[in-house]
Structure 1
């Protein structure tokens, strides 16, 4: 390959195809016709000696060669754009726009109130539109479609080069029981833990959570009395029943039922849960988007 003979427009086309996974959408993004984008893909295949993208029911699937060159290509193009195109500064106090956030339940309850208050003070003309998602990989679909500007949730199962992430907050697990229960008085050992009925919060409907996985490694299992998708309903359920539950600490500390509960360290070893800021590479350098991500990160860092 003659590096000096490469048409940079082909790399722009490749970057758009990598992000959009669709010839028509990539053409619209670059500002060319669909036949022109198809021709660019043909020239790219010849240039790299590789199919680069294979058609499937889910859209264009990148080959290993395409994945290898995707990140360096995107990074080089962003650096060129930053050097050659001067973008206007984003002034939050003067801005009038709407950001769309993809949020799972946890950041919606834990982080959104602080973020809304910060926006009210720093950017009164900026509004938020929230889209809920349950499956962690749904965030990628929403970002690919341009439906949301940024997501906050657990890392997607299948990481993609076009999707960027940053860990912004974490939480630990606690085991809870009703304050006037025998377990609250006597303590939470493994025998007591297994003897109690359990409540499991499972947004995706899986009845085998992290606790069950840890118990299975020990050759043990628990009895599930209730499985529900809303984690923030769990403290109130436990406060009114003989059941126990193992949930994230902020879920309990922010609940009106807190005064009726006793918290214990779980009798099984559980890793903390990390929540990430998730965004698309195509919006990485956008001034308003960069400001929003910085604001979210700073507000998350202030959470107790």
Structure 2
């Protein structure tokens, strides 16, 4: 086997460029100057006979050739690293550090209290710095910029080898009314459902949601009594009014008003909602980051 002309440091530079999509950040990751990283990119282009990365407003965009090379090169470097470098063991009970975690509203509501309770017992020296996001691809931007170590939210639309995901939570929609409402005694038929005023959760302020789409397919329409941008106030509102709402089951169950509600399957078919654990490939093998992801995964199983 002849590796003449191939410098393994060039493959490290390629992996960093693929991960960071920015020459300056890739240079910092590898520990070289920006001119040195630019020179490495020039050599990579000659080696593979391809531009590999093209400049854009969003940073360096990999060419199809670069995308084809990314996974084999990353795996090869990981294999070399695992053979030559002994990684330190992460001891959560003795650690004193802060993890930066990106959370959308739902995992902050249902999972964060559980995480903090477990951290106090397992890793009392570990704290969390939570960053909020609403747009699913904003989490990718935060990971790219190194603002957060990991995120929990709906799967991003940007499918790319530098962003890794693991399925963490699933939830389903339920229709809720006050436990004292007549519908709580008579059941939630589609006819009863359409007779009620409804709360619509619409982050964008639109007067149309998943339920309305499903009803429109049947040529039906519901009456809206309230539209608001997030769902966590909805259970308390429904418990104290004659309105109905369709929300995720854990939002209703974990609400302080949960005992004042009756839960029914929605009278229309709605999709299941999934939430992923999301992280950047640059932190995939870091011992502390691996522990954090496994810890989150283990705690999520109690939900």
**SS state of the match for residue 118, structure 2?**
helix
Q: How far is the alpha carbon of 1:214 from its aligned partner?
A: 2.4
Per-residue CA shift, 1:283-304, capped at 9, x if unaligned?
Answer: 010111111111110110112x
Q: Show structure 1 runs of 5+ residues with no match.
A: none
How high is the TM-score relative to the length of structure 1?
0.93
SS of residue matched to 1:134: coil
Q: How many residues align?
A: 302
In 1, the alpha carbon distance for the partners of 2:227 and 2:76 equals: 48
Q: Distance in 1 between matches of 2:41 and 2:111?
A: 43
Deviation at 1:191, TM superposition (A): 2.2
Shift of 1:5: 3.3
Task: Describe the shift of the 1:210–1:27 C-alpha distance in structure 2 as closer, same or farther (beyond 3 A).
Answer: same
* Range 67-76 or range 83-92, more displaced: 67-76
Alpha-carbon deviation of 1:109? 1.4
* CA apart distance, 1:154: 0.7
**Relative to structure 2, which stretch is displaced further, 291-300 or 75-84?**
75-84
RMSD value over aligned CA atoms? 1.7
Structure 2: stretches of 5+ with no match in the other structure: none
Cα offsets for 1:166-215 (capped at 9, x unmatched): 11121111001122223223221222223322212234545443223323
Q: Does the Cα contact within 8 Å between 1:18 and 1:162 map onto a contact in 2? A: yes
Alignment correspondent of 1:66? 66
3-state DSSP of counterpart to 2:224: strand
Aligned in 2, Cα 1:253/1:16: closer, same or farther, shift over 3 Å? same
Q: 1:264 to 1:72 in 2, by over 3 A?
A: same
CA contact (8 A) 1:199 1:224 kept: yes
57-66 vs 244-253, which deviates more?
A: 57-66
1:224 to partner: Cα distance: 3.1
Q: Which residue of 1 aligns with 2:283?
A: 283
| Residues 225/207 of structure 1: CA separation in 2 closer, same or farther (3 Å cut) | same
Alpha-carbon distance in 1 for matches of 2:5, 2:208: 56
The answer for the alignment partner of 1:255 in structure 2 is: 255
State the shift of 1:45 in Å: 1.7
Q: C-alpha distance in 1, partners of 2:185/2:3?
A: 73
Distance 1:234 1:87 in 2: 48
- Work out the CA distance in 1 between the residues paired with 2:48 and 2:6: 11
Q: Is structure 2 residue 160 aligned with structure 1 residue 160?
A: yes
After superposing the two structures, state which structure 1 stretch, 7-16 or 283-292, moved more: 7-16
CA shift, 1:136, in A, is 0.8
Q: Are the counterparts in 2 of residues 165 and 279 from structure 1 also a CA contact under 8 Å?
A: yes
Partner residue of 1:9? 9
SS class of match (2:221): coil
Contact 1:134 1:204 (C-alpha < 8 Å) held by counterparts: no
| Residues 1:82 and 2:118 aligned together | no
Aligned counterparts of 1:296 and 1:143: Cα–Cα separation in 2? 17
Cα distance between partner residues in 2 of 1:4 and 1:208: 62
TM-score normalised by L of structure 2? 0.94
Shift of residue 158 of structure 1?
1.7
